[in-house]
Amino acid sequence: MKVAIIGGGPAGLYAAILLKKQRPQAEITVHERNRADDTFGFGVVFSDATLDNFEKYDPPSYRRITQEFAYWDDIAVHFRGTVHRVGGNGFCGCSRRTLLLILQERARELGVTLAFETDVDDEARFADADLIVIADGINSRFRDRHIDHFQPQVDLRSNKFAWMGSTKPLDAFTFIFQETEWGPFIAHAYQYEAGRSTWIFETDADTFQRAGLEGLSEQQSADRMAGIFGWFLDGHPLLINRSMWRNFPMIRSQRWVKDNMVLLGDAKATAHFSIGSGTKLAMEDAIALADAMAQAPTVDAALQTYEHGRREEVEKTQHAADVSLVWFEHVDRFWDFDPVQFAFGVMTRAKAITYDNLTLRAPEFVREVDVAFAKQVRGKGFDVDIDKPVAPMFQPLRLREMQVANRAVVSPMCMYSAKEGVPGNFHLVHYGSRAIGGAGLIFTEMTCIGRDARITPGCTGLWNDEQQAAWTRIVDFVHANSAARICLQLGHAGRKGATKLMWEGMDRPLEQGGWDTISASPLPYFPDSQMPREMDRAAMDRVKQEFVIATLRGEACGFDMLELHCAHGYLLASFISPLTNQRSDEYGGSLENRLRYPLEVFEAMRAAWPAHKPMSVRISATDWAAGGITGDDAVAVARAFGEAGVDLVDVSTGQTVRDAQPIYGRMFQTPFSDQVRNEARVATMCVGNITTADQVNTILAAGRADLVALGRPHLVDPSFTIRAAAWYGADIACPPQYLPGKEQIFRNSVRDRQDFEDLKIKGKPKTRAELKAEATKPLAAE
Ligand SMILES: Cc1cc2nc3c(=O)[nH]c(=O)nc-3n(C[C@H](O)[C@H](O)[C@H](O)COP(=O)(O)OP(=O)(O)OC[C@H]3O[C@@H](n4cnc5c(N)ncnc54)[C@H](O)[C@@H]3O)c2cc1C
Ligand SMILES: Cc1cc2nc3c(=O)[nH]c(=O)nc-3n(C[C@H](O)[C@H](O)[C@H](O)COP(=O)(O)O)c2cc1C
């Protein structure tokens, strides 16, 4: 077999090593345009998990790499004169040059041919190769030559960054967030060998301009950075080596394989440097390719296996990198945060690290986070304990005069079980048991303002006395038997009305017994859905009046709070999204116009709703569809409702158009809540695939939301909040009938938690930094 590899970076060299080990007879050549020791960059980082992988696949290179490594466990966050350190991270750094020399030496040893100073410009010269590996890096000539086939998407990010080095020793992965007269600068720095550290500087485009960095030489910009970070560098110089300022290109390729050619490493996909995964991805691509070649019967089949088997892992890493880079791009959102909350946000930005996880590794840090959170709550007039604060989830919140005892919320969820809009026994048990289960706030399902406003024949309503009496019974039960507050969600289905019950066909039109639908514009949801009538002014007035009447009925029922549903493609949402609003009057066109009617309705309701009771609005913060609402629009929408007197924005997403492409994942909508809360400066509630109390605490402690709603988890576990309270040892209201159960779970949780933590700590392998520290510990210290 003949293998041609274009590019002698980590991807190309490691692929050569693994393939040659597998097929000693194969003729493998790496073609590299540079000289052997002619390399850019300073250090590279690997996690312990990545090193475990290297150990498994090629022990000799692993041993040489790890001999050269600098190890560290801590991450240090410097911000506004404070430094917060968190241990247990298990990372290693090594010089990129050394890494490449080790890989070159190992490749040679195995019999790989290394052709340096060979700039390949045409793959035709490899016509006799069975396999051509394209590992020519971020600006891949060969990916771009076949651009129509590989279809790379390049998302050039807005921040500017430059790689530099220094002689400054560092004992932690160090983030420095530095205020300057021009704006914020960030340094990401880590040591990679004795007396050498990598420094990546990052700033936003405006600050870059203001700081006059445009057009400076590498040395001049290094001098400028040394001026900014000199207080930390202690006289150590900044070193340059192709240290130009650039914009990071986030690259994703639609295809990775063409005939017998395969893309590896940065050529195929990139991951932002803030999660330190570029070199890791490159080398793990080589592992995946070698695995596929070992298992599949032909090169063709192996390349298919590589592409299909590897894609999910790469996309997961890219997603984490995306979330992380967005955090750094918007660091100004958090600039006025308490430093410990800021540091918590840095640590938890990419979802892998959470509140519980940090509690195990850095309990003192989490205690500080809890104290800072409790102090903020105390600042709002609550007499909470700040010496031994409870976890953020169990801190109270006030909206106008309504107080909620904790931050866990039952999200609004249609039960599709009402008869002519009247909630029945099912609803009483459903809402009642979730209130008893400890959630601070319970939302009703979307309750419709008129018969024709319903989504399905099973939806609840509040347009007549019978419905009002039924809701009063539920509200009274909640108030009499729990500490929960209950919020009425009012809505109109718009073009998604007259559809089937969820379990008979979500959003599908009713075959019989339907009713006429209305919307901002005459656009059916599915091609075969009913055509809605475009609302005229008379219809707008009628619907607005129905919202006001339902509001008054809601007050008569005794609800504590009111939410206006402006999300998920229903009537008011259909005005806000440009995908569903094609009007040419003053209610269509600009966002300001599209918001006009929803705001009119909100203001009319606000005027009818008692001034001491809060109101929220649910929005879809993105349509997940081209040309639709984006996060930036959501900020503008939230500001407009904020000015109209909204107390909380309930940040959901999507469900506007049927061909939307949401990116699901844990807590997938939380970044939108973060953006709305910290840009529009309104209180928010987040929701969406949040399943654990740990996630609830992580979101709250990082300042990404003020309340956290859980939908589906509450369907199967009404006592989610009591259970979590027991776990975190936070007292919680419980009806007297259930006290023995509460006492038992609180008692057992202390032991269960201790067992769990012991197991986690015992089960966790020592990091390489810990092992190294133990190995070098002087005997006398034993
Ligand atoms: C300026 C810069 C500095 C960086 N510094 C660091 C750092 O300090 N730490 C870190 O972890 N990551 C760093 N990175 C990112 C990291 O280098 C990559 O994520 C990783 O190296 C990807 O490995 P790769 O093998 O896919 O590509 P690369 O390492 O880019 O290797 C591609 C190789 O292909 C060669 N090549 C390209 N075209 C041809 C051709 N036509 N013919 C022959 N050879 C060709 C190139 O010379 C290069 O050696 C840096 C990136 C850049 C752009
Ligand atoms: C069965 C069901 C019914 C729902 N009904 C409503 C509703 O009436 N009003 C609303 O705003 N959202 C509704 N939603 C959306 C939820 O409130 C929530 O935003 C969504 O389920 C995501 O949260 P989760 O991942 O915690 O379930 C419903 C969700 C489910 C699963």
Q: What is the pLDDT of residues 23-67, one digit of tens each?
A: 999 999 999 999 988 776 788 888 888 899 999 999 999 999 888
Asked if residue 533 lies in contact with residue 517, where contact means CB atoms within 8 angstroms, the answer is: yes
Residue written as tokens 């097929």? 23
Q: From the alpha carbon of 285, which atom of ligand 1 is closest?
A: 26
Dist. CA 717–CA 410, nearest whole Å: 11
Mean pLDDT of 353-361: 92
Nearest CA to ligand 2 atom 7: 413
Q: Are strands 196-203 and 184-193 parallel, antiparallel or unpaired?
A: antiparallel
Least confident range of 108-112, 316-320, 366-370: 316-320
Closest residue to atom 4 of ligand 2, CA basis:
413
Q: Find where tokens 């009119």 sit.
A: 600
Contact criterion met (CB below 8 Å) for 138 and 285: no
Could you tell me the CA-to-CA distances from 597 to 69, 186, 564, 593, 600 in Å, in that order?
Answer: 62, 43, 13, 8, 5
- pLDDT, position 309: 96
Q: Scan for tokens 């979101």, then name that residue.
A: 699
Ligand 1, residues 29, 34, 96, 317: which to mutate, most atoms within 8 A of Cβ?
96
Give 766's DSSP letter.
Answer: P
The amino acid present at 726, given as its one-letter code, is A
In this predicted structure, the answer to whether residue 224 has a pLDDT above a threshold of 90 is: yes
On the question of pLDDT at 269 being above 80, the answer is yes
Nearest atom within ligand 2 for CA of residue 563: 11
Rounded Cα distance between 180 and 227, Å, is 10
* Cα–Cα distances in angstroms (integers) from residue 717 to residues 345, 540, 550, 697, in the given order: 29, 40, 30, 18
Q: Which residue has the least CA distance to atom 2 on ligand 2?
A: 413
Helices (H), 161-297: 205-210, 218-233, 278-295
Q: Is the pLDDT of residue 778 over 60?
A: no
Distance (Å) of CA 303 to CA 5, 270, 289, 307: 15, 20, 7, 6
Q: Please tell me the predicted confidence (pLDDT) of residue 756.
A: 86
> Can you tell me which residue has the tokens 């005229």?
536
Q: Which residue has the tokens 């919307």?
A: 519
pLDDT over 50 (residue 781) = no
**Nearest residue (CA) to ligand 1, atom 39:** 136
Position with higher pLDDT, 376 vs 49 = 376
CA distance 285 to 9: 12
Report whether 681 contacts 689 (CB < 8 A).
Answer: no
Query: How high is the pLDDT of residue 765?
Result: 65
- Paired tokens of 137: 């890096």
Kindly state the average pLDDT of the residues 732-761: 91
Q: How distant is the alpha carbon of residue 480 from its chain centre? A: 39
CA of 594 relative to ligand 2 center, distance in Å: 25
Ligand 1 mutation pick, 40, 136, 157, max ligand atoms within 8 A of CB: 136
Closest CA to 560 of 619, 643, 648, 639: 648
Report the separation in Å between the CA atom of 232 and the middle of ligand 2, taken as the mean of its atom positions.
49
Mean pLDDT for 217-241 is: 95
H-state helical runs in 166-244: 205-210, 218-233
Q: Which of 69, 98, 100, 266 best tests ligand 1's pocket when mutated (most atoms within 8 Å of CB)?
A: 266
Which ligand number lies closest to the CA of residue 442?
2
Cβ-contact 41, 128 below 8 angstroms: no
Residues having CB within 6 Å of any atom of ligand 1: 6-12, 31-34, 40-45, 96, 119-120, 135-138, 141, 163, 198, 242, 265-267, 278-279, 282
pLDDT tens string 118-167: 999 999 999 999 999 999 999 999 999 999 999 999 999 999 999 999 99
**Residue 411 CA, closest ligand 2 atom number:** 17
| Cβ contact 95:68 at 8 Å | yes
Which amino acid makes up residue 468?
Answer: Q
How far, in whole angstroms, is CA 246 from its chain's centroid? 25
Q: Are 303 and 291 in contact (CB under 8 A)?
A: no
Which ligand has the nearest atom to the CA of 692? 2
CA of 142 from ligand 1 middle (Å) equals 15
**Among 587, 490, 606, which Cα is nearest to 540's?**
587
pLDDT in the model for residue 184: 96
CA distances for 302 relative to 229, 479, 668, angstroms: 49, 63, 33
Contact between 447 and 461 under an 8 Å Cβ cutoff? The reply is yes
Q: What is the DSSP string of 24-88?
A: TTSEEEEE-SS-TT----SEEEEEHHHHHHHHHH-HHHHHHHHHT-EEE--EEEEETTEEEEE--
What DSSP letter does each residue of 257-273 carry, written as one string? EETTEEE-GGGTB---G
Where are the alpha helices (H) located in 270-393, listed in sequence order?
A: 278-295, 299-329, 339-348, 355-361, 363-379
Strands (E), 387-539: 397-399, 402-404, 408-410, 441-448, 485-491, 518-519, 533-534
Q: Which long-range contacts (CB under 8 A, 24 or more apart) does 354-357 make?
A: 354/694, 354/695, 354/697, 354/698, 355/391, 355/392, 355/694, 355/697, 355/698, 355/701, 356/694, 356/697, 357/694
- What is the separation, in whole angstroms, between the first and last Cα of the chain? 55
How confident is residue 90, by pLDDT bands cut at 50, 70 and 90?
confident
**Which residues have C-beta atoms less than 6 Å from ligand 2?**
411-414, 445-446, 489, 502, 565, 567, 618, 652, 687-690, 710-713
Q: Which range has the worst mean pLDDT, 34-43, 319-328, 670-679?
A: 34-43
**How far is it, in rounded angstroms, from Cα 420 to Cα 430?**
18
Res 775: pLDDT = 64
**Over the stretch 534-549, which tens digit does the pLDDT of each residue have?**
999 999 999 999 999 9
Model confidence at 690: pLDDT above 90: yes
Spacing, Cα 459 to ligand 1 middle (Å): 58
> Which ligand 2 atom sits closest to the C-alpha of 714?
26
Ligand 2 centroid – CA 491 distance (Å): 14
CA angle 715, 718, 720 (to 5 degrees): 105
Distances (CA, A) of 388 to 97, 98, 368, 563: 50, 49, 10, 34
Instruction: Give pLDDT, residue 776.
Output: 60
Distance CA 451, CA 446 (A): 13
452 contacts: CB under 8 Å, gap ≥ 6: 497, 515, 516, 517, 518
Contact between residue 125 and residue 230 where contact means Cβ atoms under 8 Å apart: no
Kind and range of the H or E run holding 429: helix 425-436
Among the bound ligands, name the one nearest to the CA of residue 620.
Answer: 2
Task: Report helix, strand or coil for 103.
Answer: helix
pLDDT for the residue numbered 782:
33
CA distance 310 to 263: 12
Pick the closest to residue 684 from 639, 728, 749 (CA basis): 639
Distance from the CA of 46 to the center of ligand 1, in angstroms?
Answer: 16
**Cα–Cα distance for residue pair 592/531, rounded to 1 Å:** 26
Closest residue by CA, ligand 1 atom 45? 7
Q: Which residue in 75, 59, 57 sits closest to 67, CA to CA?
A: 59
The pTM of the full predicted model, rounded to 2 decimals, is 0.91
Q: The tokens of 157 are what?
A: 């990010």
Asked if 486 and 431 count as a contact pair (C-beta separation under 8 A), the reply is yes
Q: Which residues contact 125 (CB under 8 A, 6 or more apart)?
A: none
The answer to whether the beta carbons of residues 471 and 558 sit under 8 Å apart is no
Closest CA to 281 of 47, 31, 40, 75: 47
Q: Which residue has the higher pLDDT, 756 or 112?
A: 112
Instruction: Report pLDDT digits (tens) over 158-207.
Output: 999 999 999 999 999 999 999 999 999 999 999 988 889 999 999 999 99
* Nearest residue by C-alpha to atom 21 in ligand 2: 711
Strands 408-410 and 402-404 turn out to be: unpaired
Q: CB neighbours (10 Å) of residue 455?
A: 26
Q: Which residues form the catalytic set?
A: 570
Cα–Cα distance, 682 to 333 (Å, whole number): 13
pLDDT at 32: 97
Q: Reduce the DSSP state of residue 229 to 3 states and report it.
A: helix
Cα torsion 177, 178, 179, 181: sign? negative
pLDDT value at 780 more than 60: no
d(CA 565, ligand 2 centre) in Å: 12
- The whole-number average pLDDT for the span 497-523 is 95
- Chain mean pLDDT for the chain: 94
What is the whole-number distance in angstroms between the Cα of residue 709 and the centre of ligand 2?
A: 10
